[in-house]
Structure formats: structure tokens, C-alpha cells
Amino acid sequence: MKRISYFLLSLLFVSSSLFAQEQESKKPQGHTDQNKFRQMKDVLATPNETRTASGAPGHAYTQQKVDYVMDIRLDEDKHQLYGDEKITYHNNSKDYLEYLWIQLDQNMRAKDSKTPDINSESFNAAFNGPRTFSNTNLKSRFDGGFNIEHVKNEDGSDLSHTINQTMMRINLPKPLAPGEVFKFQIKWWYNINNHILDGGRSGYEAFPDGNSTFVIAQFFPRLCVYDNVEGWQNMQFWGRSEFALEFGDYDVKLTVPSDHKLEATGVLQNPKDVLSREQQKRFATAKKSFKDPVFIVTQEEAEKAETERSKKQSTWHFKADKVRDFAFATSRKFIWDAMAVDINGKTVMAISLYSKEGNPLWEEHSTRVVANTLEEYSKLTFDYPYNKAVSVHAQMGMEYPMICFNYGRPNPDGTYSERLKRGMIGVITHEVGHNFFPMIVNSDERQWTWMDEGLNSFVEILAELDYDPNFITGNLPKDIVPYMGGDQSYLSPIMSQGDYVYQFGPNAYTKPAAGLYMLRQTIMGPELFDHAFRTYSKRWMFKHPTPADFFRTMEDASAMDLDWFWRGWFYTTDYTDIGVKEVKRYYLTDQPTERAKEVAKRSNLNLDEYKDKLVYFAEAEEGEVIENEKSASDFKFLNDYIETLPEEFKSRAKEAPKYFYEVTFEKPGGLVMPIILELTYEDGTKERKTYPAQIWRYNENEVKKVFRTQKAITSIVVDPDLETADVDTSNNTWPKKVKENKFDQFKEKVKG
Ligand SMILES: [Zn+2]
């Protein structure tokens, strides 16, 4: 008895291995070290004591600190800004510094700026409107560069310096030793640009009522970052790739007309000098209002202020610790509201400043969106550490510590489209979100746009969906398909310096955001992803992370090897395309098949001797309906055998499958990705299966899977929820979907 059962088992084994499933060849294609899963050791910088292999700052990590004390004065009528700036530079590095590099961003608007010169031009203007007038019709350029009046040492003596476009080198009298401090002063002024006519991330907007709103940033000479990754980060500012900045403490006095309302980075030091008693009272009320914004200045009050002009000046005094930059907004046109946000027991203020032109949209949404953003981002990263976040209405979207400038202007009659409202909610979420990346997790924006824009656009998706579950984000994997499937000669890897990438928006915002969303939802799952993402955010809070620190931390905190994902998604322009190439169906029969006979002949086996000892796997023809399908237990000799088995095996054998499908998946796309499947059965029920990307490790062109089922499969869909940015879904279904009927195809042909 024992022997017979052994014999039967071995026959079953022979039959299944010979006739049914041919195991995939385990032979790798080409050199294994060239495959899509090879580790990133050749690409990432070697870990050291400042940046560890785990992706955390090392024990020898240091960063410079720069403190600023500034006196700033606005000449409202002339549109000029004056500054007197005292800088304290702390050399926390282990290096001797012979010179310091200062960023002069406003020189991008200097008369001799090279920024317009590097752009290829064509003259295709058909007409002039207010928005295009200055670009097409003005002979001379606006002169918005810095006028540096002096650069002086602490003792008042002049410091030797050299200006190269947007960068200024200050030659130190003697090298600055590790741990030493250097104090110096710069006096400057510049003409403020009209950001509507001349563009820019800062400037003023003039209104027909004779007033302007000023949103002012990059307005003072700022230190470049010095670190062990770039040395001095002194790549020129061409107007696109943003900023690399050190943290420091700011003490800033801003002198503006007395009837202006003003917000800036930092904590207001002298509310009694600049706010009326009523306004101070309203602020106190707002600090306790966690549900709705409270007006500090109403629209009625702002409209009244528009018609008057104070001849007096007021000085607003702000202090901000541990910030990488400083910006402010000022105008007599501003309406002002604020509400309290509870961040883990700490009260933070959400604040908005907007002219009446922003209403009714702004009073309805701005401050609430700020509050929602602070709450959501804090959940996914760390508790928001500053005391406030301000959203200012301006026709742009730009971020600074604690304050940002956002678009979203209704029509003059106050009506607005759903699209405009969505755009405004999106931009406020995005720009307030930048407080986290890069204002606190302070990556090098000049070098890597994606590190702040990509990470921020990703968290933005989750914050927007929290504000409105039906929000259309435009940053999901399916949204990046047209870009990734587009002309390869206009694509750059995400890992490119920002000034050199084609299609800046999709490259640096949407693709990294969609990639991170895919990592969270599809590849890692929210639990592992969120922990790793939070770990990265906390590790690099108030520090300067690099891409390697991010890639390494995400793996370090999750136990997932994601090198294949970083390599494909961030370092190449490959795209996802996975499909079903072929489906073979098999069923069980007691009649020897042609294939069985062939194999038997080769093995010198007489199949007649195995009658009632073997069943055969027959392949169904395409479209063939299999009738009276059987499972192993439907054959008497097999059932008799099953009856002799231990209970546990018997019950499993009774569930033996009736249908066998060998599915070949193809991968015309260069990226490896998980295969996500939806199987639909004859009774309408559905089943999902996900195979990790590692399924492609031995053969990246095609892989096979066998499905053994009790119900017939009627359809197979790859990536049914469009999670993987698959650029061509025409091969994603079996049986193939006929998209158009024959007549439509014929019509298309005739049209040519
Ligand atoms: Zn951004």
C-alpha cells in the first residue's frame, strides 16, 4: 500500500511537472550587476561620520549659522526698498574659510543681468495686452538690481568684495577659523519690481485705486550655504532654481507708512506700537477661536483705509529664531483675519492678509486652508514648530518661513469658477506646506528642486484630500502618464539640477509626488511609508538633507529594499508599461493529449499502461468553452487515493482546482513595478493579487504566473486602479478590450 501510494504520488508529480507548468528559467539576463535591482552603492555618496549609511545625520554633522539684524525702510511712492544689515556668521565647520559668499538675488533683475540672455527668443507676438506689454514693447530693461552702498567690517572699515552676477564674495581679512564668528554689515537699496508686469517671486502689485500691495522677499543679501557636500553652494540664481540658505536668528525692523497692515516672518515684538487697541483685542479673541477665523481688520475698514494716506511712518519689529529666510507683506489695502490651530496641545495661529479683490473667496477659505495644512502636515512629519503661518493674497505662489504669497482672484463681480477655487486651495496648501519642506527640512533647492517641491507636492495631496475628499489633485500616478509616455528627447531624470530640466513642473513636482504616492499606497503601504517618511522629516528637521539621506532613511526605517524604485523613478526617464501578453487555459481529462503522447514517446512511456493511473492537462483552444470540467477528486482512482490520505491533506485535496491558467505578463516599459491584478470569475466575484516588483528580477521582459482556480476566470486586468502610471493600458486586459467597433475603425481609416 505504501509503495503504491508513493508510486501514484510520483506519477502525479511527473505529470504536473512535465505537462502543466514549466518552471521559469532562473537564468539571469546578462550581468546581474546591471539589472534593475542592483544596489545604489555606485550612485550614492559614500557614507561618513557627517551623513551615515542609515540616512541620518552623523555624529560629526555640523552646519553654519547666520544671524541677521536689519533695519528696512519702504519708500512706497518710489517703490524702493532700503536696508541696513548686520550679519553674524558662525563658522561651525572644521574648516578655515578664506572668504564668504553672499547671494544677491535681486541682481537677477539688474540692467546687465544675464538671465534674459540665456533664453532663446522668437518674435511671435500678435498683440499687446497689459500682461505682455513690458516683455514685448519696452526697449530697455527694468533696473531692479542691488545698489550696494557699502560692505563694512564690524569696526567700520571697508571689506574687499567682488560681485559676480547674483553672487558676492567677501574677502576676509584673515581666514575664519573653525568655531569663530565674523561680524560685518551691508547697506543697500533697490527698485522694487512690479511683479505683475515684470514677473518675479517678490514685488508689488499696483491697483487702480492708487494703492499697492507689497509682497517682499529675497530682498536682502543672504549668506550662501557652506557644507561638506557642495563646499560653497554658489551656483548663480537664474530665476528658476530656488535657494540654499543657512538657519539663523533674525531681528528685523520694518518701517512703512503708518496706515499699512503688515505681516512677516517671526514674532511681532511691539504690537502696542503698530496695532490699535481694538486690533489687539481682536487678536486675543482669534487666539481662542479654533473653529472660525476672526477679523483683525474687516473689509469695511480696509476699504476706508484705501481712500486715505497717512504721512506718518511706523516701525514693525519682528524676531524669528531658527529660520532660513525672512519675508514680509505690507499694504493699507489688506483685510486681516486669523484663527487658532491646536498642534498637539500647542496653539499656532493661521493668518491671512488679502485685499478686497480676493473676496469672497479669501475670507471663506484662506485661513481655514492654512489651519488644515498645518494640522495635516504635522501628522505626517512633525509638530509645526513656529508660532504662526500667514497666507497673503498676491498673483503668484511663493513660500517663505511662516509667510507665503498665493493666487486666487475672483472676477471683479465676485464670481469665480470651481477651477479657480480649487487652484487657490491647492496653492495655499502647497505654499504653507513649504514651511515643512524646505523651510524646516532644509534641502538645497538650488541643486535639487524635487527635494522640496516633490516631497511637498506629495504631502499636499493628502492635505487637500483631507480638506475636501473630492479634491482633484493632479499629482496622482495617473496624472504623470502623459509626461512619462511623452517624447524622450524632452524628458530629464528627476535627479537633474533644476535649471537644466525640461518640463519643470512635471519633472520636479508631479513625478516625484506621484512616485511617493505610489510608494505609500502601492509599494510600501501607509504604515511602513508613514513611519519612514516621518523618520526622515524628524531626522532632518532644521538640518540640510541630501537625496541620499532621503533614499537611505526610507529603507532604513522600513526594511524595504527600494533601490530599484529610486534607480528607475528618480535616475532614469523610463516609464511603466506592463500588460497581459498571453493566457493559456488548461483543464483535466482522462484522454491522453497530443502533448502527453509526445512527452511519453520521448520518455519511452506506454500511456496505455497508465489508464486510470494518470490524468492529463489539456489546453483549451481560444474561445473554446470547457464543459463538465473536473477536479482531481472527480476521477475515481485519484479520489480513492485521496481517501487514504490523512484528514488534513484530504480536505485540501477536496478543494482541488478545476481550471488552470498560465498567464504571461509582458513589460515593454523600462521600469520594474509590482504587478497588480484584478481577476473576475464566472460568477462575477473579483479577486485582487499584487506581486512585488522583484517578480521581474530574472527576466525583465516577461514573466509567467499559473492560477489554479475552482471557478473559471472571465477577465484579468493589470493595474485596475491606475496606481503605477502605466503609460499604455491597451495591453492591460484579457480578453483584449475592443475599443472601437469595426465601423469606427473603418471611418478612422478613411479620414486618414
Ligand atoms: Zn513649491
Instruction: Give per-10-residue mean pLDDT for the chain (752 aa).
Output: 35 39 43 77 93 97 98 97 98 98 95 84 70 55 92 97 97 97 98 91 96 98 96 94 96 98 98 98 98 98 96 97 98 98 98 98 98 98 98 96 98 96 97 98 97 98 94 95 96 94 94 98 98 98 98 98 98 97 93 91 88 89 81 87 87 85 97 98 96 95 95 96 97 81 52 42
CA 156 – ligand 1 centroid, Å: 40
0.75 surpassed by pTM = yes
CA 456 – ligand 1 centroid, Å: 7
CA 496 – ligand 1 centroid, Å: 17
Residue 628 has a pLDDT of 76
Dihedral sign (CA 515, 521, 522, 523)? positive
Residue 2 has a pLDDT of 35
Say if CB 454 and CB 512 are below 8 A apart: yes
Residue 33 has a pLDDT of 53
Give 272's contacts (C-beta < 8 A, 6+ positions apart).
280
Residue 225 has a pLDDT of 98
Q: How far apart are CA 687 and CA 689, in angstroms?
A: 7
CA 427 – ligand 1 centroid, Å: 8
Residue 424 has a pLDDT of 97
Neighbours of 68 (CB within 10 A): 21
Residue 139 has a pLDDT of 57
CA 242 – ligand 1 centroid, Å: 10
CA 27 – ligand 1 centroid, Å: 46
Residue 71 has a pLDDT of 98
Name the nearest CA neighbour of 563 among 20, 43, 5: 43
CA 432 – ligand 1 centroid, Å: 9
Q: How far apart are CA 216 and CA 83, in angstroms?
A: 13
Q: Where are the beta strands (DSSP E) in 21-77?
A: 65-75
Say if CB 211 and CB 333 are below 8 A apart: yes
CA 434 – ligand 1 centroid, Å: 6
Residue 652 has a pLDDT of 82
